[in-house]
Structure 1
Amino acid sequence: MSTTAASDTGATDGRSPDEIRDRYTEIGPITGSLHLDLQGTGDQIIVGIGSRRGVGIRDVRMAMGQALSMSGVRARDVVAIATVDAKQNEEALLELADVLGVPLKLLPADVLAGQQVPNPSPVTERLVGVPSVAEAAVLASEAQLISPKHTYRGVTVAVGRLFAVPRPQEQPRPHASYGPQTGFGPATEARVYDQYDEAYIAEDLGHHGDAEVVPGLVDLAVNVRGAAPDWLQDRLRDAVADLSAYPDPRAATEAIAARHGRPADQVLLTAGGAEAFVLLARALAPHRAVVIHPQFTEPEAALLAAGHDVQRVVLAPPFQIDPALVPDDADLVMVGNPTNPTSVLHRAETLIALSRPGRVLVVDEAFMDAIPGEPETLAGTPDRPAPDVPGLVVVRSLTKTWGLAGLRVGYLLGAPELLRACAATQSLWSVNSLALEAALAVTTPPAAAEAEGYAVRLAGDRDHLVSVLAKVPDVEVQGPAAAPFVLLRAGGPDPVGVHQRLRGAGWAVRRADTFPGLGSGWLRVAVRDRSVSDQFAQALDAAVHPGR
């Protein structure tokens, strides 16, 4: 496979910030020698960055990765990072320059203040004296802005091009078209919500449903069973007596393997599905990584945090996959099934059609066990062996159906050599003893039968939720829904305010405008019992039609 194993060494290699600063910072303009040295090598991308003081490297790398992805350019094309000279001691920016191996250009504030930026910020101008550090830094570098500035958790990034030389045989990227003209492109304007003490951009890879839940609100934001069954809680309590021993994953690994009709060397236990994505991002070195959106944001977040370029295939409603949208040379493709937040269950044949020689195909089946019979699973069962698809990796979770999100237990299914590469980057004893006990407990035949019964009841409750939501005027429910949640788009006179009005009425639902490809008015609603769904439908009607 072309996505080879890669090391995950630290960016600084033990060097001090002063050593990195001496090597990578330059005072003054970017023009001149930079053009002479780099002519003829393709796109020359300048990244302008403005950030709050003390920002972390993960947030800086995430913000830059998102901005580059939305601009349709690659991290390998970045030739310099530019910012205001007051940031000369900002360790995250120094480390980013070190990771990319490019200079950090420090520009005087008075030079930046003289730039006519397209998106000035009164707050930035008041605090820094510059209307937009990120945009001004690009323009002061004699580069042309190629996309709107992008803000993520206190980091603002603007992307500019010095010049572009077409690459031989470079094909257009149809999925790189973003913005209002598509109707589903991600917005990049920061908006402040009173219940949070920070500004969130409309697209936020780090935002999850648990952030919506506060005491006093009915939780329809988290897609996890309310509590583990009593018998499972009792078994975990009994296992506490053995916590003096180090975790041994062998028995749980064998049990998971038997559950899917696989040999044990095709199973790697992880601390939830989120760790599985981190391990894949560390172990692989893709040339062209593609994430199909809208979907769970952690796969892209993990890739960006590991320093990979990410390209997107953004689906429009009804969010069905067309394998032809994925570039043929993509050697890593990530997709969810059923997909979070769309609740779409893709046909197994469609996903298999995404496979190619030399490509790793990662299918996130975190919610597959919530579907009766798991008809489209690629993980395999003792009665239905997994299909022989080279490069296929399946991510599974045990936390959703069993109410174990706080315990963190999931696993990877795939080729032994790829799983060994992932395991080599995993922390020692990553999966704790209680998580291993839970894995053993929920893979027994009685537990499997209970899970199937839960999935059947859940499907009935979901159908009821869809039916009552469909009666709310100016609400469009996406379907057919297959997962323990549904995606809807609210209309009415003020769709942007629906989320906030629901909170005011005591309901926590998942903002879906933070998912790439969705925008204002999109909400994800977890399936609960039918009486709760009836009450929520009434609350949603009131939130969509305030004052009626």
Structure 2
Amino acid sequence: MHTSTEPDLRHHGDAEVRGGGAELTDLAVNVRSGTPPVWLRERLVASLDGLAAYPDGRAARRAVAARHGLPEERVLLTAGAAEAFVLLARALDVRRPVVVHPQFTEPEAALRDAGHTVDRVLLDPEDGFRLDPRAVPGDADLVVVGNPTNPTSVLHPAQSLAQLARPGRTLVVDEAFMDAVPGEQESLASRTDLPGLIVLRSLTKTWGLAGLRIGYVLASPGTIARLERAQPLWPVSSPALAAAEVCSAAPALAEATDAAHRIATDRAYLEGRLAKFTEVSVCGPAAGPFLLLRLPDAAGVRSRLRGLGFAVRRGDTFPGLGPDYLRLAVRDRATTDRFTEALATALTDR
């Protein structure tokens, strides 16, 4: 079921920050603060010595495969998860694609750009935006769902997602934020028993590489080969390949695990501070590095927060949400304290 007013599927959090200057605290983009770390920067700088050669993705592909316990032929490296959505839309022969919303809007935008008619399954805010597999039409031959979902921060049980897999259907699970979940609970990345399963991962969020563009697809060898044929030659740069390799190694995985636990702690602190505002509802339980808020006059509050030095993400560009939603990235406690002081002002200065 479509909303009466079509949201802007091409609006993303970075638009909230443009033109704000260094004095604007970014709570609109879900990239972990303080990244990339020094060791990753050094690895990227070292990779520049090889820029005269064409990119060779074999080592990075092996590293990603080993990280998930998969054979190399089940891995495809991409220029971020966004490229993967375009490849899927162009390379897969589907008749009835369905996107589960609210979620990241690029999958639907890519499908529409490729000429597909897209149906939506809108999750119910009164049910905490939880997924009931029975809500997905039985004849859908492509289903796209995020886990944990952007912008709701809901972590769907792996068992529920697995129920969506069936012969003749492609099930795409966007796990761009799964490495921000302690223990990566409910991940399907290493599953090879589910027919038609495609899992997308991104390295840009946890490691601060949004400007480098690096992600990957995990799927059956046949699907990987099909998507690879749709890619241009050398689609991933040498620095991005270096990042994929080192970020898949044991030391980086241990650091990501520590970061996930810190994010969970900081998120709980942020939720506690927000609980003091009776007019603000926090969608939960939240599992990602961001929170979805519901509050009256969200557009006005967002504008006033910007005037107070904070950029937050509007929610009305996500199908299934309305003008009374905002998305908020989780930051450290000091930033949260400053933000909640500004929020108190933004809520009263109307």
Q: The TM-score by the shorter chain falls in which range?
A: over 0.9
Partner residue, 1:349? 159
Query: 2: distance between equivalents of 1:208 and 1:248?
Result: 31
Partner residue, 1:20? none
Partner residue, 2:14? 210
- Residue 177 of structure 1, CA deviation: 5.6
2:188 paired with 1:378:
yes
2:240 paired with 1:435:
yes
TM-score by length of 1: 0.62
* Aligned pair partner of 1:505 in 308, 326, 335: 308
Q: Is the 1:489–1:522 contact (alpha carbons within 8 Å) kept by the matching residues of 2? A: yes
In structure 1, the gaps of 5 or more residues are 1-175, 180-186, 189-202, 381-385
* Higher Cα radius of gyration: 1
2:138 paired with 1:328:
yes
Partner residue, 1:225? 32
Query: 2: distance between equivalents of 1:498 and 1:356?
Result: 44
> For each residue in 1:7-65, what CA deviation from the matched residue of structure 2 results, as whole angstroms up to 9, or x when unmatched?
xxxxxxxxxxxxxxxxxxxxxxxxxxxxxxxxxxxxxxxxxxxxxxxxxxxxxxxxxxx
| Superposed structure 1 runs of 4+ greater than 3 Å apart | none
Question: Which runs of structure 2 are paired with 1:439-518 in the superposition (5 Å)?
Answer: 439-491=244-296, 494-518=297-321
Matched residue SS, 2:184: coil
Query: 2: distance between equivalents of 1:465 and 1:523?
Result: 14
Query: 1: distance between equivalents of 2:69 and 2:124?
Result: 36
Partner residue, 1:310? 118
2:166 paired with 1:362:
no
> For each residue in 1:102-153, what CA deviation from the matched residue of structure 2 results, as whole angstroms up to 9, or x when unmatched?
xxxxxxxxxxxxxxxxxxxxxxxxxxxxxxxxxxxxxxxxxxxxxxxxxxxx
Query: 1: distance between equivalents of 2:271 and 2:172?
Result: 29
> For each residue in 1:357-389, what CA deviation from the matched residue of structure 2 results, as whole angstroms up to 9, or x when unmatched?
200000000000011100110002xxxxx2510
Q: Is the 2:81–2:200 contact (alpha carbons within 8 Å) kept by the matching residues of 1? A: yes
- Residue 541 of structure 1, CA deviation: 2.1
Query: 1: distance between equivalents of 2:284 and 2:298?
Result: 20
Letter in 2 for 1:513: D
Partner residue, 2:224? 419
Q: Is the 1:361–1:392 contact (alpha carbons within 8 Å) kept by the matching residues of 2? A: yes
Q: Is the 2:3–2:319 contact (alpha carbons within 8 Å) kept by the matching residues of 1? A: no
Letter in 2 for 1:377: S
Query: 2: distance between equivalents of 1:294 and 1:387?
Result: 27
2:268 paired with 1:268:
no
- Residue 222 of structure 1, CA deviation: 0.5
- Residue 316 of structure 1, CA deviation: 1.6
Letter in 2 for 1:530: R
Query: 1: distance between equivalents of 2:92 and 2:174?
Result: 17
Matched residue SS, 1:285: coil
- Greater relative contact order (Cα 8 A, min sep 6): structure 1 or 2? 2
In structure 2, the gaps of 5 or more residues are none
**Residue range with higher mean Cα deviation, 337-346 or 500-509:** 500-509
Matched residue SS, 2:145: strand
Partner residue, 2:57? 249
Query: 2: distance between equivalents of 1:373 and 1:333?
Result: 25
Partner residue, 1:277? 85
Partner residue, 1:162? none
Q: Is the 2:299–2:314 contact (alpha carbons within 8 Å) kept by the matching residues of 1? A: no
Query: 2: distance between equivalents of 1:420 and 1:305?
Result: 22
Partner residue, 1:287? 95
Matched residue SS, 1:401: helix
State percent identity of aligned pairs.
60
Query: 1: distance between equivalents of 2:158 and 2:239?
Result: 33
- Residue 405 of structure 1, CA deviation: 0.7
- Residue 207 of structure 1, CA deviation: 0.4
Letter in 2 for 1:331: D
Query: 1: distance between equivalents of 2:95 and 2:103?
Result: 22
TM-score by length of 2: 0.96
Query: 1: distance between equivalents of 2:211 and 2:246?
Result: 16
> For each residue in 1:324-348, what CA deviation from the matched residue of structure 2 results, as whole angstroms up to 9, or x when unmatched?
1111000000000000000000000
Question: Which runs of structure 2 are paired with 1:43-442 in the superposition (5 Å)?
Answer: 176=1, 178-179=3-4, 187-188=5-6, 203-213=7-17, 214-215=20-21, 216-226=23-33, 227-317=35-125, 318-380=128-190, 386-442=191-247
- Residue 178 of structure 1, CA deviation: 3.5
Query: 2: distance between equivalents of 1:499 and 1:263?
Result: 46
Q: How many residues align?
A: 344
Letter in 2 for 1:464: Y
Query: 1: distance between equivalents of 2:192 and 2:168?
Result: 17
More helix by share: 2
Partner residue, 2:343? 540
Q: Is the 1:239–1:434 contact (alpha carbons within 8 Å) kept by the matching residues of 2? A: yes
Matched residue SS, 1:228: coil
- Residue 544 of structure 1, CA deviation: 2.1
RMSD: 1.1
> For each residue in 1:166-225, what CA deviation from the matched residue of structure 2 results, as whole angstroms up to 9, or x when unmatched?
xxxxxxxxxx2644xxxxxxx34xxxxxxxxxxxxxx11000000101212110000002
Query: 2: distance between equivalents of 1:406 and 1:217?
Result: 19
Query: 2: distance between equivalents of 1:376 and 1:352?
Result: 10
Query: 2: distance between equivalents of 1:289 and 1:253?
Result: 29
